[in-house]
Structure 1
Amino acid sequence: MDRTDDGRTGQPGLRAALLVAVLAAALGLGGCGGPAPPEVPMEMPSIVASPPEDGPEPADPDAPGAWERVASVEPAGRLFVVAPEGAPAGGIVLVHGAWGLNRHARDLARELAAAGFAVAAPDLFDGLELTTRLAHADALAAVVPERAEALLAAAADRLAAIEEIDGSPLGMVSLSGGAPWAFRFAESSGRIVALVVDSAVLGEGVVPSRAVTFRTLLVVGEADRSLDRARLEAIAQAFAAVDAPFEVARIPGAGTDLFDPRAFGYSEVARPLALERAVRFLRGNLAGARGE
């Protein structure tokens, strides 16, 4: 039941506008001078299935996890939900980045589940997965903040309803461009005790506006040039100014996004190191919140 219209997004023409933006950028129509080659080979955004109408629907036939309908928002949205084999060590809300809730993001959710967590990832792009960087800015800008917050709340509610979690505080993992939504939800909801972000986006105005109780871990590649010592110190000082717990983990051998193989400087060796550091941070803080 694939859809190519924008009936579910509440934003008429979003997908059509993204297609136009991709073509214009690739052909060099947005500025003066001759056409410039795109950063990556020209590809079109992928339109994927609508929210399931009834029960959960498998997301990928070769892997665990399913799409679940979110009827509490209008139009209806969806979550990707995956559970560990045994009792969960806690619940994690995974916030996708500028590519959308694609296979790479879903596989990260599965890795977190394999580490013992129940994971719920809201689809903030309402079924749109991008296959080119050229449309990232348009897709991120098109997300309605109120809808994003409602979908994040639905993910938290889904996890809180699991018997072993039973309303306990949750963890959150954010990929690249998802950091602003993740941080604001953690700050406003009071339901998150540990937040992991993997991007310099955190420093672009996304810092605490007041004292917060959740702890933040910024996991970055050691070779990420966008985060020099001065910038990291500025971010740390912004957190310290409002007594917000903050720490940095620098992963050797990695550049930018640590969990997406299409990112510049991605390292298959560094990825498990970054994941291990994130899991240790989440597990310790969730256990502490439960008094263990």
Structure 2
Amino acid sequence: MRRITGWLFVGCLFAGMAATQAGEMHDWWDDAWWERGELAIPENHAVAVTRDSYLSGDVEVPVMIARPDDDRKYPAVLFAHGRRGLDNLTEPLVTRLAARGFVVVAPDLYTGRFISAMPIEHDYVLEEDLNLGLDFLLARDDISSSRACVYSHTRGGYYALKVAVTFERQERDLACYVSYYPHMQDPNAPEPMQVYRYASEVDDLTLPTLVFVGEHEQYQRKRGIEMSITALRNRDRPAQLVVYPGVGRAFDFRPTEVRTFADDLAAKDAVQRAARFMRQHLE
């Protein structure tokens, strides 16, 4: 588990954040910044957004597609939304990743099945819907990679885990797993399982994994995330956990009336860190 600790510095935004503990090396360390004052310049693209759909049985699943607004091919990413569904706060997450240079397909798993936003219980058919969304993505002719990465947040982290493991897509069709404060347990599991256990599928996850969480995330969610990453690392799986100090839940999409500067720093760092990670495994 890798933890970012210390102060958030504006000048270090794109090079990594926080102060190092004495004698400990961190993967965010940047000699170019420290020794020569160089700041990384993020990749930016104008984004085109289109809408489409695909069938899951007799259900039409709406899908948002965001990609750079040009004729080039880019690596493929499947976005799995959480309990909010796709709305005015979560759709920009898709756009922000596409602006880094990816073709991002984001199925709207709730609308086609008339599921209201913020459901409590989990409908397992949504896992199949997301799995078919991966087929939809990989069939596109504007992607440059033969595989995709899954990019998710909240409950979408569980949906993505099931696609990778239960549907056995990690062996041939997926290159990495990236998630923001994912729900690493079956949402229908009883309370003790939510707090003290993680989903059994985690033990079978072999994909390179990158997870982001705020220091002040809900205890029951953070505990499951930390246990999951520890379990993966104990199995010598390539798993990283980035913990942002001073922020809590939903730092990537908290609205303006409650958003903090620390939320923005964490969100900007995370999307660039995720982009580098996914590009590394897709190219």
- TM-score interval w.r.t. the shorter chain? 0.5 to 0.7
> Structure 1 pair 247/276, CA: closer, same or farther in 2 (3 Å)?
same
- Counterpart AA for 1:84: P
Report the Cα offset of residue 212 of structure 1: 3.5
Is 1:83 aligned with 2:79?
A: no
- Counterpart AA for 2:176: A
> Structure 1 pair 75/91, CA: closer, same or farther in 2 (3 Å)?
same
- Counterpart AA for 1:219: F
SS of residue paired to 1:121: strand
Residue aligning to 1:68: 52
The question of whether the paired residues in 1 share the 8 Å contact of 2:93 and 2:253 is answered with no
Which residue, 230, 240, 259 being the options, matches 1:237?
230
> Structure 1 pair 154/229, CA: closer, same or farther in 2 (3 Å)?
closer
User: Any unmatched runs of 5+ in structure 1?
Assistant: 1-62, 288-292
Deviations 1:122-179 (A, max 9, x none): 111126696xxxx73xx141x5313x23321232122212335377110111111211
Aligned residues: 217
> Structure 1 pair 179/212, CA: closer, same or farther in 2 (3 Å)?
closer
Which residue, 243, 249, 254 being the options, matches 2:247?
254
Is 1:268 aligned with 2:250?
A: no
Which residue, 157, 160, 169 being the options, matches 1:182?
160
Which residue, 274, 277, 283 being the options, matches 1:278?
274
The question of whether the paired residues in 2 share the 8 Å contact of 1:196 and 1:218 is answered with yes
Answer with 119-128 or 230-239: which moved more: 230-239
The question of whether the paired residues in 2 share the 8 Å contact of 1:215 and 1:246 is answered with yes
- Counterpart AA for 1:71: L
Q: Percent identity at matched positions?
A: 24
> Structure 1 pair 207/199, CA: closer, same or farther in 2 (3 Å)?
farther
Aligned 1:1-292 pairs, distance under 5 A: 64-86=48-70, 87-126=72-111, 136=118, 139-141=119-121, 143-146=122-125, 148-165=126-143, 168-187=146-165, 188=167, 189-190=169-170, 191-199=173-181, 201-202=183-184, 204=194, 205-206=198-199, 208=201, 210-224=203-217, 226=219, 233-262=226-255, 267-287=263-283
Deviations 1:72-98 (A, max 9, x none): 432222111112234343111111111
Report the Cα offset of residue 226 of structure 1: 2.4
* Counterpart Cα distance in 2 of 1:185 and 1:170: 12
> Structure 1 pair 228/162, CA: closer, same or farther in 2 (3 Å)?
closer
- Counterpart AA for 1:275: V
SS of residue paired to 1:217: strand
TM-score with structure 2 length normalisation?
0.66
**Greater relative contact order (CA < 8 Å, ≥ 6 in sequence):** 2
**Greater fraction strand:** 2
Answer with 186-195 or 117-126: which moved more: 186-195
TM-score with structure 1 length normalisation?
0.64
Report the Cα offset of residue 265 of structure 1: 7.1
SS of residue paired to 1:201: coil
Report the Cα offset of residue 232 of structure 1: 5.7
> Structure 1 pair 225/97, CA: closer, same or farther in 2 (3 Å)?
closer
The question of whether the paired residues in 1 share the 8 Å contact of 2:54 and 2:136 is answered with no
Answer with 192-201 or 257-266: which moved more: 257-266
- Counterpart AA for 1:220: V
> Structure 1 pair 125/228, CA: closer, same or farther in 2 (3 Å)?
closer
- Counterpart AA for 1:260: F
Report the Cα offset of residue 247 of structure 1: 0.8
